[in-house]
Amino acid sequence: MKRYHLITIVLLLLCSCTSDLLEKTVFIPDADDSHLPAYTEWGYNSFGARYERVYFIATNDIVPCKIVYRNGILNFSLYGRAGSGYNSWYSSDTQMSLTFSFPSSPMNEYQDLMALDKKDIDLTDASCEVKMTRNSQTETLSILSGHLTFKRAQLLSVDEKENRVILSGVFDLKFLRSDIPEVMSDGRFDLGLTDVFNLSGK
């Protein structure tokens, strides 16, 4: 199994400069839980987390991340599905998004995301907010504990031209929904980002 993963990674690296691959979600299974993507820092446009007894993960039919800056607040949104695991989606699986909002210096273009390198966000801080959208219904979560950590931000160049910023990191949170405690754990993300939407009107 380890040899298979090594061959897969080598092949992906050899192809990593193709624009087609850079836009897709690449799923490399975690060694301990094959329903989750392994933590990587290669810009695979992937994320995943355990959510109670199911999984919240990126899929190829939904753009996995969008970043919006507005009036001093950065909104980091993950879009995917909550269900039984990668490659096992059924009609009953739920489209879902999670948005982390926190104070930030101005973000006007993707290169500005380099400021997130090694930044850790305490989600219980009063200046932060986390929203979850499921079945087109959005609610603000009451956070009991949690962190969003950008472990690494790196510029990726293709043909000697800057192409995107790769953001890699981890997250976990405990929260209340309708006064019932829920847990999202072992979250990880590895995203290649080419746009930041500044809606401040400046």
Alpha helices per DSSP H over 108-190? none
Quick one: pLDDT band at residue 9, thresholds 50, 70, 90? very low
Look at residue 180 and tell me whether its pLDDT is greater than 80. Answer: yes
Please give the angle made by the CA atoms of 113, 118 and 124, to the nearest 5 degrees.
95
Look at residue 4 and tell me whether its pLDDT is greater than 50. Answer: no
CB atoms within 10 A of CB 2: 7
- Give the tokens for residue 51: 């959510």
In sequence order, what are the beta bridge partners of 165? 155, 193
What does 39-74 look like in DSSP terms, one character per residue? P--S---EEEEEETTEEEE--TTS--EEEEEETTEE
Whole-structure pTM value = 0.86
- Give the tokens for residue 158: 């293709």
- Could you tell me whether strands 65-70 and 197-198 are parallel, antiparallel, or unpaired per DSSP bridges? parallel
Quick one: pLDDT band at residue 85, thresholds 50, 70, 90? low
Q: Could you give the number of structural domains in the chain? A: 1
pLDDT in tens, 31-43: 999 999 999 999 9
Q: Which domain holds residue 144?
A: 2-198
3-state secondary structure of 195: coil
Rg (CA), the chain: 17
